[in-house]
């Protein structure tokens, strides 16, 4: 462990500092300095199945913003995975951290916003990243955030704990949370039983999109993908409402996917580009024969933005006759957050049987 007596020593492990004007930090105390967290969070690599055997701890994989929460006396910050501060976007979270008894800490966790059903609302979380102070203040009241904590990186004297094992850090985290109760700050659930973790994977939840496995004897490894994560993969039968060509080629590049809502409108919900090269010529001819407006009768693919151009957003509507089964993980604002994986064609299924309720967890 690294004991903090002066900022320069600690800066080499957990905390970086900015003194301005090239001045050196004063020796009279850490909290008096305008400091910021520079530690990259420990990460997980994706695997197909959960590891088994003794020595593993399993936790829900939360669907929010990864965040390191930092306090040193009057200095507070929330540092996102990118290394940038999220503090000004979540003033209510700073207030919650300021209100607990602990005066110094570094916590690793996930910022979440709960929707009306109690699940995580990722699109609402994204909407919080707004430049206007007035909107930030309003949303902090209307859609307050919570911090789900799963690791503790320092003690109350800002002594580094990253060289301790996970099992030791978890005991310290439990003790910290017992003394610092808050409705906005909570510790994650965990289990040492693989069967229970498998049940978390099997049962859908809007806020938990998988399971993270951690070695009980591992120390905290900043920036290293030392943990394992298994994401919950779900499937949906979707209508092909349009397609895009490959860039610079007259071959189908991606299929635009739609689902019907209760009003009978076909809404665009995402895309899949997982098409085998040898299948593209025949599929292109098939799609071109079905080109007809409008394709989507509800929400349609977006128009060009500052990140795209006319070519990259150009798409061609087709008659809603083809159905595909796709695999997906996240859903945000009734759309697949990432590209879906094409599993198979479903000639046995009618397009009008492909409903939006497949996206409900």
Residues that are catalytic: 61
Distance of alpha carbon 226 from alpha carbon 262, whole angstroms: 45
Nearest to 50 by CA among 224, 223, 229, 220: 229
Distance between CA atoms of 346 and 326, rounded to whole angstroms? 10
Contact between residue 245 and residue 254 where contact means Cβ atoms under 8 Å apart: no
How many C-beta atoms lie closer than 10 Å to residue 81's C-beta? 13
Tell me the C-alpha distance between 144 and 140, whole Å: 5
**How far apart are the C-alpha atoms of 271 and 286, rounded to whole Å?**
18
Tokens read off for 236: 């949906």
Spatial neighbors of 85 by CB under 8 A, at least 6 apart, are 36, 77, 78, 79
Specify whether the CB–CB gap between 301 and 295 falls below 8 A.
no
CA angle 84, 165, 146 (to 5 degrees): 40
């Amino acid at each position: 462990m690294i004991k903090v007596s002066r900022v320069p020593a600690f800066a080499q492990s957990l905390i970086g500092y900015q003194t301005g004007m090239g001045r050196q930090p004063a020796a009279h105390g850490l909290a008096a300095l305008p400091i910021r967290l520079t530690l990259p969070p420990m990460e997980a690599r994706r695997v197909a199945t959960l590891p088994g055997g003794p020595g593993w701890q399993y936790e829900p994989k939360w669907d929010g913003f990864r965040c390191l929460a930092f306090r040193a006396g009057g200095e507070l910050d929330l540092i996102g995975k990118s290394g940038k501060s999220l503090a000004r976007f979540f003033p209510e979270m700073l207030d919650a951290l300021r209100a607990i008894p602990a005066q110094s800490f570094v916590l690793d966790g996930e910022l979440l916003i709960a929707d009306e059903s109690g699940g995580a609302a990722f699109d609402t979380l994204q909407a919080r990243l707004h430049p206007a102070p007035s909107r930030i203040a309003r949303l902090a009241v209307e859609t307050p955030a919570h911090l789900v904590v799963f690791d503790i990186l320092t003690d109350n004297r800002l002594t580094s704990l990253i060289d301790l094992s996970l099992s030791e850090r978890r005991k310290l985290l439990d003790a910290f949370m017992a003394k610092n109760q808050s409705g906005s700050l909570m510790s994650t659930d965990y289990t040492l039983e693989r069967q229970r973790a498998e049940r978390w994977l099997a049962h859908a939840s809007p806020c938990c999109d998988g399971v993270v496995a951690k070695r009980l004897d591992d120390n905290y490894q900043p920036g290293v993908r030392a943990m394992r994560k298994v994401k919950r993969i779900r499937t949906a039968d979707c209508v092909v409402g349009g397609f895009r060509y490959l860039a610079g080629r007259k071959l189908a590049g991606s299929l635009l996917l739609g689902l019907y809502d209760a009003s009978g409108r076909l809404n665009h919900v995402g895309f899949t580009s997982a098409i085998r090269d040898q299948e593209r010529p025949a599929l292109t001819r098939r799609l071109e024969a079905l080109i007809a407006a409008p394709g989507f009768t509800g929400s349609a693919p977006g128009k060009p933005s500052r990140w795209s151009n006319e070519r990259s957003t150009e798409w061609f509507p087709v008659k809603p006759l083809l159905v595909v089964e796709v695999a997906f993980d996240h859903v945000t604002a009734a759309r697949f957050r990432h590209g879906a994986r094409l599993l198979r064609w479903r000639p046995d299924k009618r397009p009008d049987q492909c409903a939006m309720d497949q996206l409900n967890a």
